[in-house]
Each structure stands twice: as structure tokens, then as C-alpha cells.
Structure 1
């Protein structure tokens, strides 16, 4: 089902998570913050969604994604190269990247992460993108 383009005041967030419960919980956090949430269970699905939408402002992704043909690090490189204006927050419990391993501007949060911390990170990114919220 194709969703209509978002209004300027709406914040579009793409959550990429292969663990169904974590995906649902993360989607709920952003929905409760009145953001428009798109879901992908793996990197290939995320790339397909990003290819059809120009109103997603932030991608929240896990690094360890066994599903699909593309891993989390490859997704990061693709998103930052093709859509440099999109903010990216990496969530990971197992794979803690070392300094310089993530593309410039990509934020990292360890799992588990409080929902309020994620929402604040997204608002900070959107604020930088637009010059205001």
C-alpha cells in the first residue's frame, strides 16, 4: 500500500530491525511521538522503501541483520552515499563499531536504548536538517 507524501511538519522515520519484537517496540516509540514510521525487516527492504520515498528524514537501523542480501554496514554506506541528507542512528547490542568505522555523521546507540533517547536523537537530526523543529 502506497502512503501519500508526508506534510512538511511530519517527521518520517524508517526503522530497520530483523527482530520482530524490537521492530514493534521501536515503531511504537516513534508512533507515540507523532512521527510517521516506515518498517523494514532487512537492508534490502529498507533500500526499496528509500528508493520510493523522498520524505524519510531519519533511518534507525541495526548493524547485525542476517536477513536479505545486504548487511547493516553495507546499508549504512548505501544510505549515506545515495541520500546524504538522511540522518542515520545505528542501534546495536552485539556489534559495537570502533571510531571511524561508521560513516561521518552517523550516530551510534547501544541496545537496549531508552525510547526517549531515540526520539531526542531524531529531533536533534531533524533540527539540524531544517534549522528548526
Structure 2
């Protein structure tokens, strides 16, 4: 069994306005392309990053996304850890449901982001902000075959 590990430098993107969301999306797509991801995987990661960054701007006002390259045997990946110091999420299960929104949107941001990446983790509590970890691999896990 191989052990996944981060390689290379960490890239931080700070978000506090809509143009920062675009910048975060572009960084994700560029990094995925450099790592040799398919266009489908690169666009999926970029879209998930965009949704999470937009949520930070709308709900917390500001936060950061940290990008790292990963290696796990023959697979290459990208992990993105998004964190804010906003109001947090009282009911994560409810927030993850399609159609749930506190700001009048379509309510597909978190659940959509989860569907677009290979691994998704969310941690939050009221008054303690939100941390979301997205992981996208260049190819499927050979153990799943």
C-alpha cells in the first residue's frame, strides 16, 4: 500500500471579492492541467473550487484556499483546503442537501462541489468558520478495480 504525500510548494489564494473567486478557479484549472489531468477532471476541480470560494465570499466575507500537489503511488492529485472564519454552519447535513440556501441561491454550491471531486470533507461549527477539503486525482484509485 502506498502512502499519499504532498509534494511541491503550497499555493495560497485569498478570497474576499468576486474577482478572487475567478482567480481561485483559474489557479485550480492551471494546476490540474500542469499535473496532466484530463480536461474533464481539470474543469470539475476548477468548478468545485469556484463554488467553495464563492461561498466564502458570500457567507464569510473572506477566507483562503490552499492548494497542494499530491502523489499516491502512480496517481497524482491536488488537494485544496478552503478555510474561513465566518459564522460557520449549524447543520452540515442540511447545508449539503440540494436546494438548501440561506442566501436565496439555487442551493447547489456545497453539494455540487462534493459531486465534482473525488474526495470531499467539511468541518464546521457555529461561530467557528468552515474548513472544506477537496481532493481530485488524475485517475481513479486502482484499488477500486
Question: What is the TM-score normalised by the length of structure 2?
Answer: 0.31
Structure 1 or 2, whichever has the larger Rg, is 2
More strand by share: 2
Higher relative contact order (CA 8 A, sep 6+): 2
